Amino acid sequence: MRSRTIPPSRKPVNSSRTELEQSVTEVFTDKYGAVPACVVSAPGRVNLIGEHTDYNDGFVLPAAINRATAIAASPRPDHSLLIHAENLGATMLLDLKDLHPRKTGSWSNYPAGVAHFLLKQGITLRGATMVIRGDIPRGAGLSSSAALEVASAYAFLTLNEVTMPPLDVIKLCQRAENDFVGVKCGIMDQFISCLGKKDHALLIDCRSLDYVHVPFPAGVHLIVCDTGVKRALASSEYNKRREECAAGVCCLASRIPGIQMLRDVTPGHLMEFGELLDPVVLKRCRHVVTENDRVTRSVDALRANDLVQFGNLMYASHASLRDNYEVSCPELDAVVEICSRVDGVLGTRMTGAGFGGCAICLVREVYTDAVIERLQREYPPRTGKTPGITVCTFEQGVTVSSA
């Protein structure tokens, strides 16, 4: 293995997907003296509602956004993966015959993990030269990891002329993150990065893996506000929440025959048997059970173009994540509180795992500037941090172009 660090490129990364693809192609061509055989780009996501429900077999409603990770790639005649991460100014040389998780250069664990599980499925992989470039802020809860896994998977599949159904790619990428990178995430992020659709959100049933695209109404904007708090606690607390959910199911199963996951538990069950549970576990269960219900009602509201109801469900989701699931933080609460006082705001909540990262705000278009102005004015004195504000659009999932 060879690892070296050079100063990151000064070239600005543009948020437009086509420009990102063009720029990763240019970097590849400059560095390796030939155009890449394929260029893949996979988007990050926001989750509109349905937080911490995916690993409980529940419902989620994410959307792919106009931030992505792009990979330019060509085959190599040997068994190595030469991968350059342009944003980090780092290059790794890995041996396809000896792939294992690494501590240094941990970013390379994502493509390496994907390659590892493709090989495990019996797919023969040629060596590859790759350049990665992206504009999804890392550690901001917008799924830069899933985008890198999905882009890597499609790059390997394309270079090796293998086709695989999207659901299999999604499961393989989740497995790479769970069992190679070591983060026990659910399936939502990889799912939306593959199957996002322009101007639509995606309702996913995380048990059956059935999904349906839900059109997002015109006349509103979704503002994403990065709190600037990196999700440091995220993986240990995330795993703890998963364990608490499992403990809840285990205890309730003695009274409710046949339940497998919190998906099977109703608000009525919690009323009847809640006192059997440890009070903290009860709060965690209450969040998941009510959140699943909110997702279903949100989709009904979107279909009926009832954005007021949709927004109210966003507020309720945030309150439950803050008070029952306890995964918010003062900065996320500050964004939500500031936005909620601006005219034209329909709803706002944290998005993603929590403990920092981003909050989202659904606002009637004409009030967008007012929200941005208020966040810029009020957030820094309250938190000592600068908000990272983007108005996002909903985009299609992974795309591949071959030379």
Q: Which residues are catalytic?
A: 189
Q: Pick from 172, 191, 182, 175: which is nearest to 235 by CA?
A: 182
The crossing angle, in degrees rounded to 10, of helices 307-323 and 330-340 is 150
Residue number with CB closer to ligand GLA (125 or 327): 327
In the structure, how many helices (H) and strands (E) does the chain have? 11, 13
Q: Which residue from 58, 111, 137, 186 is in contact with ligand GLA, where contact means CB under 6 A? A: 186
Q: Which residue from 96, 147, 181, 188 is in contact with ligand GLA, where contact means CB under 6 A? A: 188
Cα Rg of the chain (Å, integer): 21
Residue number with CB closer to ligand GLA (36 or 111): 111
Rounded to 5 degrees, φ, ψ at 402 are -110, 150
Pair 260, 206: CB distance under 8 Å: no
To ligand GLA, the closest distance from the beta carbon of 186 in angstroms equals 3
Q: Which residue from 86, 135, 149, 189 is in contact with ligand GLA, where contact means CB under 6 A? A: 189
Applying CB under 6 A, does 191 fall inside the site for ligand GLA?
Answer: no
Residue number with CB closer to ligand GLA (75 or 388): 388
Q: Which residue from 336, 353, 358, 398 is in contact with ligand GLA, where contact means CB under 6 A? A: 353
Rounded to 5 degrees, φ, ψ at 226 are -80, 120
Applying CB under 6 A, does 263 fall inside the site for ligand GLA?
Answer: no
Pair 284, 261: CB distance under 8 Å: no
To ligand GLA, the closest distance from the beta carbon of 292 in angstroms equals 12
Footprint on residues 44-73 left by ligand GLA (CB under 6 A): 47, 51-52, 54-55
To ligand GLA, the closest distance from the beta carbon of 328 in angstroms equals 12
Question: Whole-angstrom Cα distance, residue 106 to residue 232?
Answer: 16
Residue number with CB closer to ligand GLA (55 or 394): 55
User: How remote is the C-alpha of 264 from its chain's centroid?
Assistant: 25
Applying CB under 6 A, does 387 fall inside the site for ligand GLA?
Answer: no
Q: CA 125, 128, 129 angle in degrees (round to 5)?
A: 170
- End-to-end, the C-alpha distance of the chain in Å comes to 29
To ligand GLA, the closest distance from the beta carbon of 31 in angstroms equals 31
To ligand GLA, the closest distance from the beta carbon of 170 in angstroms equals 11
Pair 196, 396: CB distance under 8 Å: yes
- Binding-site size, ligand GLA (CB under 6 A): 11
Q: Pick from 88, 93, 91: which is nearest to 76 by CA?
A: 93
Partners of 132 in the beta sheet? Answer: 71, 85
Question: Whole-angstrom Cα distance, residue 156 to residue 162?
Answer: 8
Footprint on residues 323-352 left by ligand GLA (CB under 6 A): 352
Q: Which residue from 185, 203, 302, 313 is in contact with ligand GLA, where contact means CB under 6 A? A: 185
To ligand GLA, the closest distance from the beta carbon of 140 in angstroms equals 11
Applying CB under 6 A, does 134 fall inside the site for ligand GLA?
Answer: no
- Write the CA distances from 175 to 70, 166, 194, integer angstroms: 21, 14, 15
Applying CB under 6 A, does 355 fall inside the site for ligand GLA?
Answer: no
Applying CB under 6 A, does 157 fall inside the site for ligand GLA?
Answer: no
Residue number with CB closer to ligand GLA (186 or 228): 186
3-state secondary structure of 189: helix
Q: Which residues are near ligand GLA by CB under 6 A?
A: 47, 51-52, 54-55, 185-186, 188-189, 352-353
